[in-house]
A = this chain, B = another copy of it.
């Protein structure tokens, strides 16, 4: 088998593949150039593609994302980095009100083929303002595609799909996964947006996860095997398009659903998933739907406190166990 690669390296690899393929792809963001990005996710791009296509910016999130939008409307395919996903709040008007709406409100006159990449999620002790999982923010805004890969090869494959997409994509790279390893993406790897991956089949409970909750869900499923509970694990990969067909089909087999989200319970994307199943899949269910999400608090700094509020293998396993016994 080929050597393993990291999720972190796969980000740069995914971007580089598309930049080689399409001269319209350009990158902009803070410290993404010679510095290679503060998470080292753009290492090598500056060297290969130079300062014209890999552009350092001032600390001006609105200008970064707004300029990306203008560039996307006029022939480029910008990939804008927002360093931490928390800072999407600093350009939220562009992310929520401009980029996703302009095509619709002009009656289809313009397209906005851009990607906003951002380091998302907690678990690293970065505190309340650098740790949030905010994919649910983007999910609440019609007109954005929302991607959140869990493995190195998905990073590459979904990056290709995101950059080639003629629609705006918010691409959440999980900080907690950067160091994780997996098989590298094959050449020309492309993972279409909106296809969940079934990572583990099972018969008793369906676990729906995303990004960093995928390994958590897999570990919980693994642990439960010993107890005789067979859990199926779905990695949604994208929130928009949302592959509810895969979820409903799985629940049709297992009759039980646990959704594992990193964002706080209140307003989390799992609520939408659960509500669709409680509506369209009501008759499939043999037990309550359970959501394992973060506590409804800002994220604390101390790791033991952070562990206490984020979903863990223990809390997921506990939820699955309870449902299986229902």
Contacts and interface: CB of A to CB of B under 8 A. Distances in A.
Interface of A: 86-87, 89-90, 92-93, 95-98, 100-101, 104-105, 127-129, 132, 136-137, 139-143, 240, 242, 259, 263-275, 277-280, 282-283, 285, 287-291, 295-298, 300-301
A290 B271 CA distance: 13
A282 B275 contact: no
Contact of A282 (B98, B267, B269, B288): B288
29 contacts: A86-B97, A89-B92, A89-B95, A90-B92, A92-B96, A100-B298, A101-B298, A104-B297, A104-B300, A105-B127, A136-B140, A142-B295, A142-B297, A143-B297, A265-B272, A269-B271, A270-B271, A270-B275, A271-B272, A271-B273, A271-B274, A274-B274, A274-B275, A274-B279, A275-B289, A277-B278, A278-B289, A279-B289, A282-B285
Count this chain's copies in the assembly.
2
Given A136-B267, A140-B263, A142-B297, A105 B92 contact: no
Contacts of A142: 264, 266, 295-298
Contacts of A139: 266-267
B272 A266 contact: yes
Nearest to A286: B282
In the complex, which of the residues A98, A105, A139, A266 has the most CB atoms of chain B within 10 Å of its own CB atom? A266
Contacts of A277: 278
A112 to B, nearest CB: 12
Contacts of A269: 267, 271
